[in-house]
Amino acid sequence: MIKLGCYNTLKAVRFVDFGVYLGDDDGIEVLLPKRYVPSRLKKDEEIEVFVYRDSENRPIATTERPYATVGQFVYLQVVDVNKTGAFLDWGLTKDLMCPFREQKIKMQKGMEYLVYVYLDDATQRVVASAKIEKFLDNVFPHLRHGDEVDALVYRHTDIGYKAIVNNLYSGLIYENETYAPISLGSTPIKAYVKHVREDGKIDLTVTPPASDRIPSLEQNIIKRMKSLGGMLDLNDKSSPEDIKKRFNCSKKDFKRALGSLYRQHTIVITPEEIKIL
């Protein structure tokens, strides 16, 4: 079955002057226009294409790759606005429409907005919505403490950073638990589940589990010591602020890393100094 708004792997069935018809296992065909047909494509050969509806509402295939497919959140720029809605650049020749009813505020040409890409049931067209909340938390997250997730950070509040988790859920990274700046943007970051609340909202942390972060921190400490001639200009009595500034970590993790290096006989700790053995 050919899925609109998604990538499909289809077989070259019929070659015509204006392109090639691609087919699926059910015998359904869609046109790949001539300008997108690879020169070496042969009959019965498979090709991955993106399928959507053209300006005349006909299913059409393309080898162009959109910035997002159906079911994804993405930041897109408005390239035009008319009486039907705003049109967003999503990487294809045909722009993606965001109807006025799906806009939180009236979109302005040249501005970027976070939108959700979906298939409209009534028209079977791929469209966008800026009302992202209605597409989140529609199923309860079966995630556990420590699970790694993709988090698209889209808003900074007084208590932390709001994020979209795995394109499905609402998440929050608390301000007082971050040790490095977090940028808002269209690229998801790696985060970890700290707690799943009763309402399905997810508390996140950008700090990896101790089993991952402590070895990495140990390497950073050794690297810094080597750059300072084998000595360390911090110790377990240093302030949390100084440690955070140098290593983007908590004092607790810093002390754990020092302890691990000491037990490995990599460093020696005295009341006066810490140095590499």
Tens-place pLDDT, residues 144-157: 988 999 999 999 99
Contact residues for 176 (Cβ-Cβ < 8 A; gap 6+): 160
Fold of 148-205: OB fold (Dihydrolipoamide Acetyltransferase, E2P) (2.40.50)
Phi, psi of 241 (to 5 degrees): -65, -45
CATH of domain 6-62: 2.40.50.330
| Token output for 78 | 């408005």
Supply the pTM of this predicted model. 0.75
Fold of 73-134: OB fold (Dihydrolipoamide Acetyltransferase, E2P) (2.40.50)
Q: Residue 186: is its pLDDT beyond 80?
A: no
Is residue 210 very low, low, confident or very high in pLDDT (cuts 50, 70, 90)?
low
CATH of domain 210-276: 1.10.10.10
Check if 6-62 and 210-276 are the same fold: no
Is residue 211 very low, low, confident or very high in pLDDT (cuts 50, 70, 90)?
low
Q: What are the extents of the domains in the chain?
A: 6-62, 73-134, 148-205, 210-276
Q: Residue 36: is its pLDDT beyond 90?
A: yes
165: amino acid identity, one letter: V
Rounded mean pLDDT of the chain? 90
Tens-place pLDDT, residues 231-271: 887 877 888 888 888 888 888 888 888 888 888 888 888 77
Neighbour order of strands in the sheet with 85-89: 96-99, 85-89, 73-82, 112-119, 126-129
118 close to 126: Cβ distance less than 8 angstroms: yes
